[in-house]
Structure 1
Amino acid sequence: MTTPPQARLVGIGIVGCNYGRLVQLPAFRHDPRCRIVALAGRDAARTAELARAANVPLAFGQWEQLVTHPDVDAVCIATEPELQPDIAVRALGLGKPVFAEKPMAADLAQARRMTHTAEASGCTTMVDFNFCAIPSWVRAKALLAQGAIGRLRHVQVNWNVENYSTRMRTKNWKSTGVAGGGVLGNFVSHCFHYLEWSCGPIVGLSATLSGLPGEPMTETNAGINMKFESGAAGHLAMSCASYLGSGHRIEFYGEDGTLVLVNETSDYMRGFRLALGQRPAQALNDISVTDDLDWQFPSDGRIAPVARLAARFLDGIVDGEPVAGGFGEGLRVQALLDAARRANDLGRWLAIEPEREDARS
């Protein structure tokens, strides 16, 4: 009996030497079905040095060189939002699957361009909405679906941290409300995704965005009121200018109980606790959730969730089947971001129309 030949490993090229190298690279390297073959950055010499240190065989100073290289079968993008569309569209045009960061673009028109190109290509795509790949969050979603707290009445998000850009007064896409950034693009994009993932479609919202006193070009605070298709209400308060902030807390209130996800640590992904209280209980009780993958990446709590998304992305490539988390979901979030910014500018409530009919799982 002969042994069948081993399937060819998927060659992964990463555009971006910061998050792409520090998080995407170890996340994808964890999966034996692929190998990291190339890294691209703005500075060719620095990129070559970083690639050598990470044992990546190819290094490029221009993303076009990586995308078109024959050894690169799929492209991971970790750049600012306004650069992602051109990279993704070029890769998809060559028949190469794309793993992109959030938000997927700087505006709704470019997100639609990316999504339409992906649909035409038939390639697997994914957006790195990584909160939904944390085990405690997956358990929370399952409890909500099972009716653990009854019909949802309202959900409250409080997220108070101080990010690096605010602390260091860095002027980049993460600190300004232009080019798809600011608190809305950098943080609230995650919130919109996980709220619809867990609570269903948002059908209306109002928003107030603001920045640091005396620095009108910054965007560090967001207050958003929402209505869900189910009739439930939602409120989101987010600040990335909160020194020693209280962390990240999501409270789901139902007719028959309360479910809470809370992380009081400075790690964005690691440290969430889950608690449930059901009538007639007088207090919340912790629910133990283990993460058998997280301990393998002690240096960075973001890697384990991204590794799970990477595995799903590779499932789509290898099996040729649609997977959850693709560009359709990124487009929906982009539509919500666009609506929130318009609601802030107009100073009024906006109804939200469905951007597309993608199923969420």
Structure 2
Amino acid sequence: MVRIGIVGCNYGRLVLLPAFRLDPRCEVVALAGRDAARTAELAGAANIPRAFGNWKQLVEHPDVDSVAIATTPSLQPSIAIRALELGKPVFAEKPMAADLVGAEAMTRAAETSGRTAMVDFNFSEVLAWRKAKALLDQGAIGRLRHVEVNWNVENYSTRMRLKNWKTLGADGGGVLGNFVSHCFHYLEWFCGPIVGMSTRLSGLPDEPALETTAGISMMFRSGAAGNLAMSCASYLGSGHRLEFYGEDGTLTLVNDTADYMRGFALNVGRRPAGVMTPIEVVDEVDLAFPSDGRIAPVSRLAAAFLDGVELGQVTSASFVQGLRVQVLLDMARRANDLGRWLETGPEIMERRL
């Protein structure tokens, strides 16, 4: 039985807790937050045996075998590195850190420890996305020509004009860290390595410091092109739409609901057909959690994490992948600041470690 401690009382309690509890191989034994009294109250309500007002107390407790982290990017490296120093596997959030230095340090710590280390990139665990990936890999639309991503939502931090990591790029967040980190991961998962990009970042017209909008053009090693338009300042936004255009057809994933993970409709059209055909995908796990579409995909990552812990292996969404995303985030911000196209490739990873 793997005894897990969760650092973070919001996403950690609302999503990671039920996701890990779906797997009988583990038990969530501790919760840590910034406010000891509030954390104790929340832990008690969730039937978690131990509560701490300090992450170090949780990480260093002998009854905690593995650590799941749901904190700000700037704090995450300290927690992950300490846990790995103690030989405890780590399930971390995206983005890994506020900058490349933190992400590199986390990755080195994971390699030194030899313990399982995973980043919670969860879109690739949505079953409709898995089916889309399989179809693309099978050549359902032929060679990819270009991909378009449009993601328009309004998140709570933007609506309330909160100055926190989710709105401030300097803290490793803003629209890049909070949302585009997901996009970079899933775009390379679907399409292969990104080798160049240009970026335009902006904020609210009357409060530009709140980073809310990104427009990114990119090229993939395959020769396919991509465009990403993301805004978390879109009241009643159109949702999340991915369009893949190939030589022989088109594939789309479209979610016009307010739920980030649930609601994606998969459609495919192939020459010479003149219409798109819907592909139905049913997620039985998701049906058990009607209030939050994030739990089902995260539960699959949790299961993969526990597989790694049991076998002593790294997992598919390892810290190396997290570092790769951090490299792309850094490149996107530099492309915006410099106002020009930048090029890179996966070989840069060899120079980062």
Q: Quickly name the TM-score band, shorter chain normalised.
A: over 0.9
The answer to whether residue 281 in structure 2 is matched with residue 306 in structure 1 is no
Q: Distance in 2 between matches of 1:117 and 1:168?
A: 37
Q: Distance in 1 between matches of 2:25 and 2:314?
A: 18
Q: Distance in 1 between matches of 2:121 and 2:315?
A: 14
Q: Give the structure 2 partner of residue 4 of structure 1.
A: none
Q: Distance in 2 between matches of 1:300 and 1:328?
A: 29
Q: Give the structure 2 partner of residue 222 of structure 1.
A: 214
1:321 positional shift: 2.8
Q: Give the structure 1 partner of residue 72 of structure 2.
A: 80
SS in 2 for 1:293: helix
Q: Distance in 2 between matches of 1:288 and 1:321?
A: 34
Q: Which residues in structure 2 correspond to 1:158-307 (within 5 Å)?
A: 158-307=150-299
Q: Distance in 2 between matches of 1:216 and 1:352?
A: 29
2:314 aligns with one of 307, 322, 328: 322
The answer to whether residue 86 in structure 2 is matched with residue 94 in structure 1 is yes
1:129 aligns with one of 97, 121, 143: 121
Gaps of 5+ in 2: none
SS in 2 for 1:231: coil
The answer to whether residue 353 in structure 2 is matched with residue 356 in structure 1 is no
Q: What is the root-mean-square deviation in Å for CA atoms of aligned residues?
A: 0.8
SS in 2 for 1:112: helix
SS in 2 for 1:211: strand
1:352 positional shift: 1.3
SS in 2 for 1:356: helix
The answer to whether residue 147 in structure 2 is matched with residue 155 in structure 1 is yes
Structure-2-length-normalised TM-score? 0.98
Q: Which amino acid aligns with 1:331?
A: L
Deviates more, 1:315-324 or 1:66-75: 315-324
Q: Give the structure 2 partner of residue 5 of structure 1.
A: none
SS in 2 for 1:82: coil
For these two proteins, the number of residue pairs brought into alignment is: 349
1:342 aligns with one of 331, 334, 343: 334
1:32 positional shift: 0.2
Q: Distance in 2 between matches of 1:298 and 1:260?
A: 24
1:52 aligns with one of 44, 56, 64: 44
Q: Give the structure 2 partner of residue 6 of structure 1.
A: none
Q: Distance in 2 between matches of 1:353 and 1:299?
A: 40
Q: Which amino acid aligns with 1:356?
A: M
Q: Which amino acid aligns with 1:258?
A: T
Q: Distance in 2 between matches of 1:92 and 1:320?
A: 13
2:12 aligns with one of 20, 38, 48: 20
SS in 2 for 1:91: helix
Q: Distance in 1 between matches of 2:144 and 2:208?
A: 37
SS in 2 for 1:301: coil
SS in 2 for 1:158: strand
1:154 positional shift: 0.2
1:322 positional shift: 2.9
Gaps of 5+ in 1: 1-8
SS in 1 for 2:275: coil
Q: Distance in 2 between matches of 1:128 and 1:139?
A: 20
Q: Distance in 2 between matches of 1:259 and 1:209?
A: 28
1:356 positional shift: 3.1
Q: Give the structure 2 partner of residue 120 of structure 1.
A: 112
> After TM superposition, what 4+ stretches of structure 1 lie above 3 angstroms from structure 2?
none
Q: Which amino acid aligns with 1:243?
A: Y
